[in-house]
Structure formats: structure tokens, C-alpha cells
């Protein structure tokens, strides 16, 4: 399968993340699955006229394009012209090139939340009129039509994340190459369910503190970060704490709250990312599938049963109270 990768309005962080994939030979692994990267702006040697000729051949349908990967948001401005981002050497808006290539490609893949939903580039006043390939935040219809379907019978595949996990990218591409990813394998906003059927909360090392509602009150405390520190791990769709980054890390394991970077509109939550908004002392961002009354009842019961070890360690920078050495009587 021929893979063409383009970069638009973004930082290139998803490419940097991809290079941290735990395979000793990333390109060899893709090649073993039958995937050839014909061009990537940061990783390929070809440039200038050679690239323009290649893009033209794909646009005209002279060569078969299997995988079109786009990283970064689509810059539609000013006034829908796409003039804020022109392909070097051609003077043409990249938005026009992407539209043409999307009609030719068997599969279209948005790599990262910027390409999927607009992301960081679309935050604030959005002077560049940035959007995703098929979504403008949660609204269907970005650069491509809301009903866009690729030649392979798929909508845009949104590998959301800021940056996206390298494993999500590689697993998605390999699933497509093996014919094992269909429309039923995407969730309601186009993300591959291979990682979006999980919550960041799953596998979090702070889950004991969450269960007892023993919360951190400042950065670097060991307690749960949801109640006061803005963590959205109970609502964010991703497997970050069961599929670790670089084999051992995640935002939460590094002491940072989850900002739900795989979700449409995460870049503008309406409050500081490190604070949890509340109404009458109850966090607004409750777990995705828990009624408010249940959470309040559970929280009250949990706090009344919190062991001293959990309560004191939650607001400490290290383990102050170790688990008791208790003999159970079982052999």
C-alpha cells in the first residue's frame, strides 16, 4: 500500500511521537505489513519539483494512492481561499491539494487532534479558520463534506491525540493494510475503537486514591487529580495508562492531569486546564457514565471509609504511610 503523508497547520509533534514507536525498526515493520511511505515532508529525501510531480500524479489518478495521512489542521482562511497555507513551489492552497487527493485515496487518515477536529490551531479567535478533515470540533463537515466516504468505503479515520500515541498510528495503518478495519471499528467521532473503547482512567496508578476520593490539592501530590486538579481521565477516550508511552510513562504517571487531548474541543475547556470547575462543590466533569446522584453518594461513603494511609499519602509528595504488614491467616 502506498502511503502519502502531508503536514498542515500544526507543530509536527505527531511525527515526533511516531518516531518514538517501540519497534526497533518502524519502517521495516510497516514494510512487512505491505505499507510503503512514498513521501513524508520530514522524513523523505525528495523535495521541490520531484514532490510536486509526485503529488500531481496522484491527483490526476496516474498512480494509485492507498493511504493519505494528514497531520495538522486544515487552514481554510482567508475567506475560504486556503491562502494561508500554500504548497511550496506551486503557489496552490494545500486545502485544494488535500481535497483532490482525498477523492483518489482508498483511505484518508487524520493523524492527531488538529487534523481530526481542528485542535490547538483552531483555538481562540481562529484567525486562520482552521478545522479538521471531516470535523470542525464536534460538528461534522470540516474541509471535506460531512458525508465524505473514501474509495475504500470509510469516512476519515481520526487518530486523535495531542500528540497521538505512536501505537495508535501503527496499529491503525496495519489494520487497514490487513483489511481488518471497517466503519464499525470507528466510534461516534471517527476514532479507531482499538484505543477509543478505553478511558484514560483505566489502569491509572492513582485509582486507589480515586476510589476513596482522596485527592491531591497541588501539583506533585500523589492523590487523585480529578476533584481539584482538572483531570479528565474518567471521561477521556484513550488507553494511555494501559498502553504506556515510551514503554513506561503517561501524563498521569508524570504527575500531570489528563486534559482529554483525544476529545473534540479539548483545547478550549472554558476553564484553566489545571483546575476542576464545580457547582456547589461537585465537579462538573463527572465520570462519563455515572449519574451525579450516584457519584455524590459514593463519594460521601468512600471518604468516610478512607484508610489513614490513603488519606495522608494523597496530599504528600512521597509515600509517608506504607501498607501495614498484616498476616491474613491464609496459607
Tell me which fold the domain 198-321 belongs to: Cytochrome-c3 Hydrogenase; Chain A, domain 2 (4.10.480)
What local confidence, expressed as pLDDT, does residue 331 receive? 58
Tens digit of each residue's pLDDT (9 = 90 or more) over 159-200:
999 999 999 999 999 999 999 999 999 999 999 999 999 999
DSSP string for residues in 188-212: TTS-BHHHHTSBTTTT-TTHHHHHT
- Cβ proximity of 107 and 4 under 8 Å: no
% of the chain with per-residue pLDDT over 90 = 82
Residue 155 confidence (pLDDT) above 80: yes
What local confidence, expressed as pLDDT, does residue 329 receive? 65
Which residues, including other chains, have CB under 8 Å from residue 242's CB and lie 6 or more apart?
198, 202, 203
Residue 328: band (very low, low, confident or very high) from pLDDT cuts 50, 70, 90: low
Tens digit of each residue's pLDDT (9 = 90 or more) over 252-283:
999 999 999 999 999 999 989 999 998 877 78
pLDDT top residue among 24 and 41: 41
Tens digit of each residue's pLDDT (9 = 90 or more) over 123-152:
999 999 999 999 999 999 999 999 999 999
**CA-based nearest residue to 13, from 169, 125, 215:** 169
- Which cell goes with 112? 492527531
What local confidence, expressed as pLDDT, does residue 301 receive? 80
Residue 198: count other Cβ atoms within 10 Å of its Cβ: 18
pLDDT top residue among 319 and 294: 319
What local confidence, expressed as pLDDT, does residue 295 receive? 74
CB half-sphere exposure, 84, CA atoms < 13 A: 17
Tens digit of each residue's pLDDT (9 = 90 or more) over 205-225:
999 999 898 999 998 899 999
% of the chain with per-residue pLDDT over 70 = 98
- C-alpha–C-alpha distance, residues 79 and 88, integer Å: 21
* Measured torsion, CA atoms of residues 160, 165, 171, 176, in degrees rounded to the nearest 10: 30
What are the sequence ranges of the domains in the chain? Answer: 2-196, 198-321
Answer positive or negative: Cα dihedral of 221, 224, 227, 229: positive
Residue 69: band (very low, low, confident or very high) from pLDDT cuts 50, 70, 90: very high
Mean pLDDT over all residues of the chain? 93
**CA-based nearest residue to 149, from 195, 194, 190:** 190
* Percent of residues in the chain assigned helix, strand, coil, to nearest 5: 30, 15, 60
Structural class in CATH, domain 2-196: alpha beta
- C-alpha–C-alpha distance, residues 76 and 67, integer Å: 23
Is the full-model pTM beyond 0.95? no
Residue 324 confidence (pLDDT) above 90: no
Amino acid at each position: 500500500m502506498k502511503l502519502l503523508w502531508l503536514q498542515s497547520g500544526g507543530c509536527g509533534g505527531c511525527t515526533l511521537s511516531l518516531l518514538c514507536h517501540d519497534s526497533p525498526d518502524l519502517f521495516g515493520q510497516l514494510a512487512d505489513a505491505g505499507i510503503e511511505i512514498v513521501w513524508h515532508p520530514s522524513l523523505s529525501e525528495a523535495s521541490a519539483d520531484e514532490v510536486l510531480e509526485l503529488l500531481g500524479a496522484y491527483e490526476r489518478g496516474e498512480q494509485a494512492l492507498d493511504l493519505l495521512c494528514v497531520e495538522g489542521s486544515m487552514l481554510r482562511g482567508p475567506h475560504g481561499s486556503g491562502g494561508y497555507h500554500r504548497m511550496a513551489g506551486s503557489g496552490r492552497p494545500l486545502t485544494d491539494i488535500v481535497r483532490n487527493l482525498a477523492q483518489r485515496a482508498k483511505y484518508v487518515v487524520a493523524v492527531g487532534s488538529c487534523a481530526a477536529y481542528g485542535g490547538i490551531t483552531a483555538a481562540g479567535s481562529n484567525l486562520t479558520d482552521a478545522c479538521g478533515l471531516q470535523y470542525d470540533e464536534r460538528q461534522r463537515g470540516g474541509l471535506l463534506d460531512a458525508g465524505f466516504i473514501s474509495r475504500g468505503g470509510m469516512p476519515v479515520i481520526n487518530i486523535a491525540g495531542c500528540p497521538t500515541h505512536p501505537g495508535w498510528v501503527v496499529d491503525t495503518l496495519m489494520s487497514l493494510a490487513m483489511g481488518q478495519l471497517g466503519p464499525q471499528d470507528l466510534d461516534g467521532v471517527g476514532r479507531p475503537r482499538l484505543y477509543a473503547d478505553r478511558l484514560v482512567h483505566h489502569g491509572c496508578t492513582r485509582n486507589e486514591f480515586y476510589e476513596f476520593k482522596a485527592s491531591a490539592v497541588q501539583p506533585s501530590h500523589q492523590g487523585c487529580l480529578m476533584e481539584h486538579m482538572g483531570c479528565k481521565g474518567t471521561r477521556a477516550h484513550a488507553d494511555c495508562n494501559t498502553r504506556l508511552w515510551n514503554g513506561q510513562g503517561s501524563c498521569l504517571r508524570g504527575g500531570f492531569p489528563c486534559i482529554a487531548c483525544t476529545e473534540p474541543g479539548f483545547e478550549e475547556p472554558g476553564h484553566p486546564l489545571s483546575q476542576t470547575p464545580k457547582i456547589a462543590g461537585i465537579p462538573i466533569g463527572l465520570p462519563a457514565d455515572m449519574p451525579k446522584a450516584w457519584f455524590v453518594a459514593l463519594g460521601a461513603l468512600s471518604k468516610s471509609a478512607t484508610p489513614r494511609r490513603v488519606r495522608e499519602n494523597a496530599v504528600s509528595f512521597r509515600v509517608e504511610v506504607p501498607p501495614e504488614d498484616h498476616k491474613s491467616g491464609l496459607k
